[in-house]
Amino acid sequence: MDGVDIMKTLVVDDKPDNVELLSQILEDDYDVISAYNGADCIELAKEQHPDLILLDVMMPILNGYDVLEILQEDENTRDIPVIFLTAEYKDTDRIVRGLETGAVDYITKPIQDEVLLARIRSVIRIKKAEDEVKRQRDDLKRVNKELKVSQEQLVRKNKLITIGKVAGSMAHELRNPLAAMETSAYYLSKVLTDASGKVKKHLDIIHSNIRISDNIISEIVDFSNTRKLFMENCDISKVIENALKDFTIPENIIIETRFNDSLPEIPIDIEQILRLFKNLISNSIQAMPDGGRLDIETNANGDYVEVKFMDTGVGIPEENLENIFEPLYTTKAKGMGLGLMIVQENINNHKGTVEVESEVGRHTIFTIKLPVKQESQTNSAASGNIFADNT
Ligand SMILES: Nc1ncnc2c1ncn2[C@@H]1O[C@H](COP(=O)(O)OP(=O)(O)OP(=O)(O)O)[C@@H](O)[C@H]1O
Ligand SMILES: [Mg+2]
């Protein structure tokens, strides 16, 4: 509502003479529409959303109070200010209720032109002030919401940076003792040439576990080192097949893939997406300790290629769903709680999306969407390091 705009006023009275009289008073300043009964008033209010309604109280069938109640039940008409036109105050209760719930004013008949116009101006002033307050309240709500989101992002980012620093320095510190163990194990295997089979077996175990630990350290170092994203066009089904190769699938788990052959190659950082797929596959396998089935499916979805991982595992309780992408969140005795955080960050780097839906005891479905085109194909645009401070 703006003082400069011509405002639309709906005049409602069952007596045509009254409507005529009111229209004459108002027509110089307002765009006037009229109705002669409550039902028409409600219909016009919904259709044309006037800025103000002058509403006669004493009307047959639906009187002014009934009309107001109906208008206020509908969120589209609730905010329209109403001025009652009444010859007498019979029903004080309803007048009070009407005033309290939003009918802004009332005027007694016979109507004096100047009083009516002044009342309308005052109602408009109040309505304008209310609208402004509402607008500011909505703005404040929106800003608060935005602030909360960026605060959460900042907390998450800081957590990641801290994890990156701790993990990086731990990995660095662990390398030296591990190298010493490696040298000693190597020395022992050299000098114990006539050792028994059991001793040899245990030396092999030491060797292979040193290798496993070294691989884990390499991964952590890789995370905490800054690396640019390296985008190349790639067939996503090949990446899934490569990810699967790294797993020894337990006998009681069936894994089936359904690849859409007509999908285009898409620009991805293969290393990141491979890691992301591995994390999802390992979660699914871990979620099916008593066996089950993992279906992996690719499809086209508008400007995206969609990959679904559907397992028949233990599922995720609804209350945990909002936490699973948080760093260090895990429900597993030996979990680090990093897998899905990496999935989320890698997906963000690719401007894609990840969604999860799950039913406890039945299934979990992770849906990944990756854009067919990247806005910027330059390989230096984003940092591939999720733990680094890129700000
Ligand atoms: N497919 C799934 N089925 C059931 N629960 C899942 C599944 N995927 C993830 N979760 C839940 O989400 C949690 C977080 O997963 P995430 O991969 O981030 O960490 P993690 O698997 O516990 O540890 P890690 O760092 O070794 O991956 C898991 O602990 C598990 O509770
Ligand atoms: Mg995991």
Residue where one domain finishes, among candidates 93, 111, 129: 111
The answer to whether the beta carbons of residues 85 and 57 sit under 8 Å apart is: yes
Instruction: Give distance in angstroms: CA of 380 to centre of ligand 1.
Output: 31
| Model pTM score | 0.59
Per the domain annotation, does 360 fall within a domain? yes
Structural domain includes residue 291: yes
What CATH number should be reported for the domain holding residue 20?
Answer: 3.40.50.2300
Q: Tell me: the pLDDT tens digits for 3-52?
A: 446 789 999 999 999 999 999 998 888 899 999 999 999 999 999 999 99
Pocket of ligand 1 (CB under 6 A): 279, 283-284, 287, 311, 313-316, 324, 329-332, 335-341, 364
Which ligand is closest in space to the CA of residue 329?
Answer: 1
Asked if pLDDT for residue 246 goes beyond 70, the answer is yes
Residue 52 falls within a domain, yes or no? yes
**pLDDT tens for each residue of 54-80:** 999 888 898 888 898 899 899 999 889
For the record, the structure tokens of 150 come out as 């960026």
Is 311 found in the same domain as 196? no
Of the listed ranges 103-117, 141-155, 256-270, 370-384, the one predicted with least confidence: 370-384
Straight-line distance from the first to the last Cα atom of the chain, in angstroms, rounded to the nearest whole number: 44
Q: What is the pLDDT of residue 389?
A: 53
Number of H helices, E strands in the chain: 10, 12
| pLDDT exceeds cutoff 50 at 302 | yes
Considering every ligand atom shown, identify the ligand nearest to the alpha carbon of residue 344 and give its number: 1
**pLDDT category of residue 307 using cuts at 50, 70 and 90:** very high
Asked, for residue 137, whether it belongs to a domain, the answer is no
Q: Are residues 161 and 42 in the same domain?
A: no
Domain limits for position 169: 149-224
Q: What are φ and ψ of residue 310, in 5° steps?
A: -120, 115
Q: How confident is the model at residue 391 (pLDDT cuts 50, 70, 90)?
A: very low
Q: Domain end: 224, 257, 287, which one?
A: 224
Predicted local confidence at residue 155, as pLDDT? 85
Cis status, amide bond into 110, omega within 30 of 0: yes
Neighbours of 89 (CB within 10 A): 12
Q: Which pair of tokens denotes residue 66? A: 């009934």
Give the position, in ligand 1's atom list, of the atom nearest the Cα of 338: 25
The helix/strand/coil state of 151 is helix
Please report which confidence band the pLDDT of residue 222 belongs to, taking 50, 70 and 90 as the band edges. low
pLDDT reported for residue 55:
92
**Structural domain count, the chain:** 3
* Averaged pLDDT for residues 199-213: 89
